[in-house]
Amino acid sequence: MKKATAHSARPAKATSAAQKRSGPGATNSAATQTVKSRRRGAQPPLRQVLTNLLQKSRKPLSAAELAKRARAAGYRTNSAKFSNVVWAMLGEMDNLERVPGQGYRFKKGQA
């Protein structure tokens, strides 16, 4: 006769689909999205801040220069390497092009 162990005597835990998929593809609940938007407050998205800075500039700007100007304009971040965050965002923006040795600017006809 087998002995009942603590593990086998416990009922199975009920988990929701969202709890099972906690990786990068998991969906956020409405409550989580509300908390994130409240945390950021009235601060515009980084994409919009970078777009505004590039529209005001007459010359291409590097990621480091854009990071410096974004912080000076009041963009709040806790990132230790904010220029890396800016550089990654610039890579996702389809309306920009990189000018080697100079920085980033709008593609011709998209300013």
pLDDT tens digits, one per residue of 43-82:
999 999 999 999 999 999 999 999 999 999 999 999 999 9
Higher pLDDT, 22 or 62: 62
The per-residue pLDDT for 42 is 86
Spell out the SS3 assignment of the chain.
CCCCCHHHHCCCCCCCHHHHCCCCCCCCCHHHHHHHHHHHCCCCCHHHHHHHHHHHCCCCECHHHHHHHHHHCCCCCCCCCHHHHHHHHHHHCCCEEEECCCEEEECCCCC
Given a cut of 80, is residue 109 above it in pLDDT? no
Where in the chain are the domains?
47-106
Task: Provide the CATH number for the domain formed by 47-106 in this structure.
Answer: 1.10.10
The per-residue pLDDT for 50 is 97
